[in-house]
Amino acid sequence: MTDLSRRKFIRNTAAAAGFSIVSSHVLGKITGHVAPSDKLNIAGIGVGGVGRRNLANMATENIVALCDVDWRYAAKTFGDYPNARRFKDWRVMFDELGKSIDGIMVATPDHTHAGVTAHAMTLGKHCYTQKPLTHSVYESRLLTKLAEKHRVATQMGNQGNSFDWCRRITEWIQAGAIGDVYEVHCWTNRPIWPQGLNLPTESEPVPSTLDWDLFIGPAEKRPYHSVYTPWNWRGWWDFGTGALGDMACHIMDPIYWALDLKYPTKVHGSSTLSNLYSAPHAQMVHYTFPERPAKGKVNMPEVKVVWYDGGLLPERPAELAPGKMLGDTDGGIIFVGTKGKIMTGCFGMNPTLLPETEMEHFEEPTPWIPRIEGGSGNIWDTNAHEQEWVRAAKESPRNRTEASSHFGFSGPFNETVVMGVLAVRLQGLNRELLWDGERMEFTNISADEKIQVVSVDNFEVIDGDPRFDRRFIELNAADAAREWINHTYHNGFKLPEMPR
């Protein structure tokens, strides 16, 4: 008898006997935990892309519902779980199946992460939400506080966090391998999707399999165009967060962990031509984090962290041997300390001291940070990160060991990532911006300051002559900053209140 038919048999028998079967989560509230041998009932929301891989890594559990606005894009995942109920609107899914769902996996476009996840937590659902955790700073703070209030198990989908590399780098740095770290450089090969785009001037017929209004969700309405979805939404500010949001949650993770960071105090962004609608082709973000208490054998002085994407790279370290690549083909990190340097690949993989000859006599510190089962293999070949969340979801909130990238960690981390997006969008102010992390606001933008942002940027050749058409829109800088920090929700979508 399959798990599904067994549950159907039990449910029908229970109904005949006059009592109800409730989800394992409800039973867990009564008994204090869910037995590890029991299976969670998981709903996938946004299952056409990376969500399919996440669900495959959760297939030890019952995948009971699948929700996606584009059923053509989601067709392969529907085929994986033919007995799961199918939905286009997550609100309808919760209305119809809410009591039987224990946890959700969210892999929708960035702009809808927070709405789905926040409402699920208010219903007592455990949440695995893809990176970036949210589209805005405010949304990250909200999810952090809701997770604390409702005591559900949470995990951001930055899978490298469950692997050994983050832990190993943290142990090296806090054991004093390169002294006190005061500067870090990190970079990615992204974007690998279109950016620096003009707003489409024409519309296209909406595919019959796509609910365009549900894709738009809380963003401002616009006509359908294939330039937005699938996948290419990452390059549009209203739906995504560009290369920074996509990859910094992976690449900055070891930095944030090893250096015990929280909120930066200063930030400055620069980029190729940026416009009102789409992320630039390439950008740099300079963060400054304040001094923190000492950790392990090292001090934690003020540290500058510089992000690069779009093919930009930091200056090549003199200690790196000729012919050696900076990081790896996907990106990397360079930590600069008072006694040396560490270089890694993307996700913090394959760390090495610089020069690499230093590794010949380096005594690696004894590991002290607990490892995650399955976290020592290839990042694409194990289900360690998802199963870390499953484990946490089955434990009682009273004695739960939180998942490695639970929202108490990943919420503040994601605030830092998407705050870097603000620095790029506000670069027209031409100065370093001062950030009050607790209050979620810039403190050196005056109420009447203006910012010029490109709204149209066209180029064509007519009779052999170039024609440029570049136009700007003027915004109140303080108002623009507040909007980008918070994001106004449209079309009837709302977020739960921020817990006090």
Q: What does the pLDDT look like over 184-213, one tens digit per residue?
A: 999 999 999 999 999 998 989 999 999 999
pLDDT of residue 380: 79
* pLDDT value for 23: 55
Mean pLDDT along residues 295-309: 97
Distance CA 115, CA 25 (A): 21
For residue 29, the model assigns a pLDDT of: 46
pLDDT of residue 34: 67
Q: Indicate the residue type of 123.
A: L
Tell me what the pLDDT averaged over the chain comes to: 93
Least confidently predicted of 11-25, 91-105, 445-459: 11-25
Please determine, for residue 100, whether its predicted confidence score (pLDDT) is greater than 60: yes
List phi, psi (to 5°) of 66: -130, 130
Q: Are 187 and 327 in contact (CB under 8 A)?
A: yes
How far from the centroid of its chain's Cα atoms is residue 299's Cα? Answer: 29
Structure tokens at 305: 């962290």
Q: pTM (2 decimals)?
A: 0.92
Q: Taking the CA of residue 331 as centre, how many other CA atoms within 13 Å lie in the half-sphere pointing to its CB?
A: 25
DSSP-derived secondary structure for 319-362: TSPTTPPSSBTTEEEEEEETTEEEEEEGGG-S-EEESGGGGGG-
Report whether pLDDT(493) > 90.
yes
Question: What are all long-range contacts of 73-78, with beta carbons under 8 Å and residues at least 24 apart?
Answer: 73/48, 73/49, 73/209, 73/210, 73/230, 74/47, 74/48, 76/48, 76/52, 77/44, 77/47, 77/48, 77/51, 77/52, 78/47
Which residues lie closer than 8 Å to 404 by C-beta, 6 or more apart?
Answer: 155, 161, 162, 372, 385, 388
The per-residue pLDDT for 36 is 65
Please give the average per-residue pLDDT across 165-188, as a whole number.
Answer: 98
- How confident is the model over 318-328, as a mean pLDDT? 96
pLDDT tier at 12 (50, 70, 90 boundaries)? very low
Q: In what order do the strands lie in the sheet with 433-436?
A: 352-354, 340-345, 331-337, 181-188, 303-309, 283-289, 266-271, 433-436, 441-442
Q: Determine what percent of the chain is predicted with pLDDT higher than 90.
A: 89
Residue appearing with tokens 């039987």: 100
What was the pLDDT predicted at 377? Answer: 77
Segment 56-85 shows an average pLDDT of 97
Start-to-end CA distance of the chain, whole Å, equals: 48
Tell me how far apart the alpha carbons of residues 251 and 388 are, in angstroms, rounded to a whole number: 20
Q: Which of 243, 217, 198, 213 is closest to 111 using CA atoms?
A: 217
Please report the pLDDT score of residue 379 as a whole number: 82
Contact yes or no for 321/355 (Cβ under 8 A): yes
- The answer, yes or no, to whether the previous bond of 254 is cis (omega within 30 of 0) is no
Q: Indicate the pLDDT class of residue 95, thresholds 50, 70 and 90.
A: very high
* Per-residue pLDDT band at 9 (split at 50, 70, 90): very low
Q: Is a pLDDT exceeding 70 seen at residue 281?
A: yes
Q: Which tokens is 189 given?
A: 């090969």
**pLDDT at res. 203:** 86
Given a contact cutoff of 8 angstroms between Cβ atoms, the answer to whether 309 and 280 are in contact is no
Give the pLDDT band (50/70/90) at residue 7: very low
What does the block give as tokens for 328? 């790896």
pLDDT mean over 363-389: 92
For residue 214, the SS3 value is helix
Q: Using one digit for the tens of pLDDT, what is the confidence trace for 16-32?
A: 333 333 455 444 444 34
Name all domains of the chain by residue range, CATH numbers in brackets.
Answer: 3-161+383-406 (3.40.50.720), 163-361 (3.30.360)
> CA nearest 269: which of 249, 252, 283?
283
Cα separations in angstroms, 97 against 22, 43, 74, 89, 353: 11, 9, 20, 12, 52
Residue 45 CA to residue 107 CA, distance in Å, equals 6
